[in-house]
Amino acid sequence: MEKLKELLRNTQRVCILTHRHADLDAYACGVATKELISKFGLNALLAIPEGPSREVKSFIEKLGIAHQSSGNCGETDLVFLVDVSTYAQLNEFRDLIGDGPVVVIDHHEVRNIAPTVSIVDPGATSCSEIIAQVFRDLGIEPSGDVATLLIGGILSDSGRLSRARPSTFEVLAWLLKLAGRDYRDIVNAMAEDVSFSERMARVKGLLRLRAYRLVIT
């Protein structure tokens, strides 16, 4: 963590990159990293190649969280790679990364790059869990919106906590207190939108069931 602080002290233009079509975990991790860096007096740019996924758009819309992304990064002194995971994507980003320092925050092992600072924990459920832990270790509280996003990231990448470890629950409880929202509202915002035809099919099924009950009683 000391090395990270030192890097940030000697930097002016920071770029945060997620994987293509960021899912909820990558998006949450990117936005949280941006907020963390702002606590060090820097305004980082967040670039999401090809924009966030539908899952992210629907989640933030339902909870009234403003979308954050800067499009492109341009010239940078320091690059953060969050939840980038696949080696092929790293190769695509080679030009952007250049020879400058790189910080990797990930729950996937990243082997084809030698980061200046590595915050990688393959035992964590998600990138969101890792960055939440970094906030906690530094004694910095994320904003309500960032805490909410991180909860969403943890839930979606952990298979709704089926792959959680004890510390996942600890960090989740901490985030929930900071989120200032009902847990139920966050879980509901993650629900996939059911299409109209699917809804109609369900309604018809229910009606048939009712008719059947009426016959037998």
Q: How far is the CB of 217 from Mn ion (least distance, A)?
A: 51
The answer to whether 163 and 62 are in contact (CB under 8 A) is no
For Mn ion (CB under 5 A), the number of binding residues is 4
Distance CA 152, CA 149 (A): 5
Letters for 78-107 (x = contact with Mn ion by CB under 5 A, - = none) are: -----x------------------------
The answer to whether 130 and 83 are in contact (CB under 8 A) is no
The answer to whether 79 and 100 are in contact (CB under 8 A) is yes
Q: 24 or 37: whose CB is closer to Mn ion?
A: 24
Tell me if 121 contacts Mn ion by CB under 5 A. no
- Determine the residue with CB nearest Mn ion: 25
Q: Which residue in the set 35, 121, 129, 157 belongs to the binding site for Mn ion (CB under 5 A)?
A: 157
Residues in the chain: 217
Q: Which residue in the set 8, 16, 22, 25 belongs to the binding site for Mn ion (CB under 5 A)?
A: 25
Residue 102: its H or E element? strand 102-106
Tell me if 55 contacts Mn ion by CB under 5 A. no
User: Cα(first)–Cα(last) distance of the chain, in Å?
Assistant: 69
- Enter the DSSP assignment of 207: H
Residues that bind Mn ion (CB under 5 A): 25, 83, 127, 157
